[in-house]
Structure 1
Amino acid sequence: MASINMSYLDPTTVMLIGIPGLEHVQFWIGFSFFVVCVVAFLGNIILLIIIPAERSLHQPMYIFLAVLAATDIGLCVAIAPKMLAIFWFGSRSMAFDACLAQLFFIHSLQGMESGILLAMAFDRYVAICDPLRHTSILTPFILVTLVLVVAIRAMVLVGILPVLIKRLHFFHSIVIAHSYCEHMAVVKLAAEDIRVNKTCGLLVGFTILGFDMIFIIISYILIFQAVFRLHQKEARLKAFNTCTAHIFVFLEFYILAFFSFFSHRFGHVAPPTHILLSTIYLLVPPALNPIVYGVKNKVIRRRVAQIFFLNCQSRQ
């Protein structure tokens, strides 16, 4: 019995089992996530090629979109390789420090994505509520500052979580019932008092996701008030049209984010359902974002068509 307890003292490796209860079909589930990741990679890489090359897209909204695309690529890189290795090759073992590194990058990139969505909402607020001062308010210096603040905030706050996990030494298990290293999934393995870890996890989540969501909602309330004051129907429709893509992305991100966040702590959701939804929450938005914004923008649609048209011509 003592040897078993010692084997979980400061463990050097953990085991990720993928989707508990669906191990017999997760090989095939992996193909679905692989397709989603390929779409996310291609879509976001195309955005990162088009936005810098097209001068008409050198606007705050599309600069933020380029940062969002880079963040989404980072999320796919942090999650997909190990997850697909578990599903397809049974490669479940992972170094404990590598697990903490994955945890840090996943949650940091989540926090950055939330912050960029807030910055995009602020851009829409200024563009609609104070259009004459849009370029003077959102200067290149302000844009760079906003992106740096979003990145530093996420890295500093999320960086606390793996540090707190490292202070834990005794673990009752090294088997993580998940397809990637998520904060609470790792913390629940500890055989010590984890109240500090849980509290900090909640505080970090609400400081980033909660803060951003509240201010995004406030910005859109102000936007809608300004839009309804417009007298011309065409002007109101145009203003709404500029916001629809962002509203869709905002809703898909935060609804799934808070479902995953609360179900892991307070809910009684079946583990397979929770893990599938939490993985979908991380991988589907990166695939949908370039599609949603690309469909709404004529310049992006035209450049994408040109890229594929030129490729087809070169093959012929």
Structure 2
Amino acid sequence: MRLDGGFLLRAMPITVVAAIFLVLPLFATGYQRALMNLYLVFIILALSFDILRGNTGYVNLAHASIFGWSAYVFAILLKNGYNILASTATASLFSLALSLAVGAPFFRTRGAYYTIITLGFSLLSYSLAYSLDWVTGGWEGISVNLGDMHLPAFYSLYILAVATIVTYYAISKSKFGLALKTMREDEEAAESYGLATYSLKLKALAISSIFPAISGPLYVLYTSYVNPDTVFGLKNIFAPATMALFGGSGSVLGPLIGSLVITTAFEILFTTQLPVRLTVIGLILVVVGLFMPRGLVGLLQNRRGRTLGVPKP
């Protein structure tokens, strides 16, 4: 890909912000570092969710569950004496395999049926994390004593977030991404043209699942704790989809903006009851569906087009 002056000029503000964000933890308090880590976790979850949704149209509400099981397996292995690297690798591979094992049969369905089935898997994960208390610790969860790992977690999450952004952008410019978008527009027509749609969906799912599978252990690295509500709760189930749709699904910038805005809203509402936070998610989805079908990015593009006299797409 040729990098012309215009591209470099557009990329410069993002590069500056990324560079500033990279050094901020060195001067931040413990709470501020934890908050920056949370931003990175949701950036990763929102962007990786949209690798599948933005390119294929499939809404995977089990996305955060892959993150959750990876976090749990990591914590369980640490409690049983395994080191951090071995626990991270094992937990990530387990969750990636789980994603493909449950995703393969799910892709026999389409549209709303797929979304409902993945929601069912997430609710089942929540229930299992509570009921298998002899392994998961039940509602008390699992605590691990790792000391202050905020900085190592931050830089690991930062690298993973950059990798997620690069992967998203690379797919959007590749033949693979074009094939996914062709399938998204009309799956039956894509099959008639010879595209192996089932294989394409599995590949997209595998790529999108890599990032939550790795970020689960990194989340536990800085929280030192995991329980069903923190990783399998309703807020987490709907958060990646809400962030991607609010920001604008189908572009790198959309999920990135959506994750920053909504994570900030979650933090402001942290002391409120869960129904309040779920109400906020519900209202955001209603507003997006009625007035912002292309999200914030689409809304800004429309306004810019009207200002420049460009017809609305």
TM-score (norm: length of structure 2):
0.33
TM-score (norm: length of structure 1):
0.32
Instruction: Choose 1 or 2 for highest CA Rg.
Output: 1
